[in-house]
Amino acid sequence: MKYCKWFLLVGVLLSYFITPYLPVSWGWENSLLEWLQVAILVLGLLLTCVWWEEARSAGDIPAARFLIGAIPLWLLMIGRELSWGRVFYPSGFHAIDGPSFLPLSQLPYGPFVNPLLVVIIVVWLCAVIKYGLYKIPYKLMQERRFPVTELVITIFAFISAELGERHLHLQNMEEFDECLAYLGLILTSFCVKNALRKTIQK
């Protein structure tokens, strides 16, 4: 696992050169890369649930609270990648830009999405403050156990994805780097989970 972060970094650095050779359709909405992103996020969600159950069973309350606090974030990222369900309502197809989808406002549940997101985020923030979950990464940093390198590479992947879309207009690069960024989130979460376990065992 210790070499995974470097594979991710190399992937991000080479994405500009790799992605032009990928099929153009892979960069479309509802494409292979977008569904791969959803699969990666679902994997992250499932792993977090498993790690939470392990911490709960071991009686590690702080770690269990921190891990269960991460579950809504995975769900929100999955929802975002699915465009809050818009991907299931195609409205047309363009030979160059690929499929198009109904606006969120036209979906049967569309008006309820944003208010629900606000409620979820507010409740999540209240839980983070109430249980002091924000203190855990700070404590791990003080103990030099926080996976800083993995997090930096993950952030770099997100920045590269943004550059690919906004400035280089390379849709495949954006989607490819987002896949790497989500893998980076899983790797960072795995390292945090291990760091929490080592902290408890000390």
pLDDT of residue 179: 96
CA distance 97 to 91: 13
CA distance 132 to 37: 30
For Cα atoms 103, 178, 141, give the angle at the middle one, nearest 5 degrees: 120
pLDDT of residue 168: 85
pLDDT tens, residue by residue, 108-143: 899 999 999 999 999 999 999 998 998 999 999 998
User: What 8-state DSSP symbol labels residue 26?
Assistant: G
Instruction: Quote the pTM value.
Output: 0.92
| Spans of the chain below 70 pLDDT | 1, 198-202
Domain boundaries, the chain: 24-201
CA distance 194 to 40: 20
pLDDT of residue 1: 67
Q: At 97, phi and psi to the nearest 5?
A: -90, -10
pLDDT of residue 93: 79
CA distance 73 to 188: 14
